[in-house]
Amino acid sequence: MEIRRVLCPVDFSDFSRRALHHAAAIAEWYTAELHVLHAYVDIAPLPVPLLAPEPAADVLDAVKAAVHAFVVKADIGRPPIEIVRDGDPVPAILDYARQSGADLIVMGTHGHTGFERALLGSTAERVLHKAACPVLTIPRGADEPGSAERVRFCRVLCAVDFSSASLRALAHGMALAEESEAGLVLLHVLGMLSDEDARSQGHFRIAEYVHARTDDVRRQLAALVPDEVRAWCEVTELVELGSAAHGILSVANRENADLIVMGSQGRHGLGLALFGSTTQTVVRRATCPVLTVRG
């Protein structure tokens, strides 16, 4: 895993300050550039109808000063590159990530729930479903690190469904686990199985079928981890039965995971916004950071 540029959008909240600490730590681990971006909307009335002017110099200067003060107060050590953009945050973040060649976006999320959030989505969710690079979201309930030097992942949970996205995510998870000297947990969640599933295999009853499937999946998970990773890291393979999102969140809590790594299919549209996806559910409800990687 190569990380040369880390992008951290900030909105001056405590949520984005926590995200900045994580972003600074990762940038330090990989000796990467850290870019701190603030996007704002200039709501001053337009002097000429239908023509959007350049942001007023005094407004732009004030925003730049606020960004710098926020960074200084966050006490992240090595000075980052500070960027200010005028416009809607989501396209501003995505455009700058693409232009700068960001390898990772680190964002805070407020963790709100409810119909309005489900329908409209949050900035973080909209970014993670559209960004070309991996996105690390830092939730409301994440531990307050105090400074970038205190950010560490001790137990990394990688959710694997054997899709291309989850296998890419696993590679990133193993790399971050190595940087943090963390334990690694591989998890696959089997959907609920029926007697019909068992009968389709000929001689199995449901309990025997679940046992056989679990053993088979656990072997597949074990085969994904190279020997060199096992040389420095304790690896655990787990198979759960149930819904994917519930299984991931339950195991993350049970295993005291402080990072969840998973793939995202990058779907769009009203159907996803209304009903959500496994990725969205985990990002919204997780109490630890979540790294998502698009397929």
φ, ψ dihedrals at 16, nearest 5° = -75, -25
Region 238-258: mean pLDDT is: 94
Name every residue whose Cβ is closer than 8 Å to that of residue 38 and which is 6 or more positions away in sequence: 9, 10, 11, 12, 63, 66, 67, 83, 84, 85
What confidence tens digit (pLDDT) does each residue in 142-177 have? Answer: 777 777 777 889 999 999 999 999 999 999 999 999
The pTM score is 0.85
CATH 3.40.50.620 domain extents, the chain: 1-113, 152-295
Q: Which residue has the tokens 């489900």?
A: 118
**15-24, 35-44, 49-58, 283-292, range with the lowest pLDDT:** 49-58
CA 42-45-47 angle, 5° bins: 115
| pLDDT > 50? residue 50 | no
What pLDDT shows up at residue 119? Answer: 38
Is residue 86 within 8 A of residue 36, CB to CB? The reply is no
Region 37-65: mean pLDDT is: 69
Which CATH number is 152-295 given?
A: 3.40.50.620
Architecture (CATH level 2) of domain 1-113: 3-Layer(aba) Sandwich (3.40)
**Pair of tokens at residue 189:** 């969640």
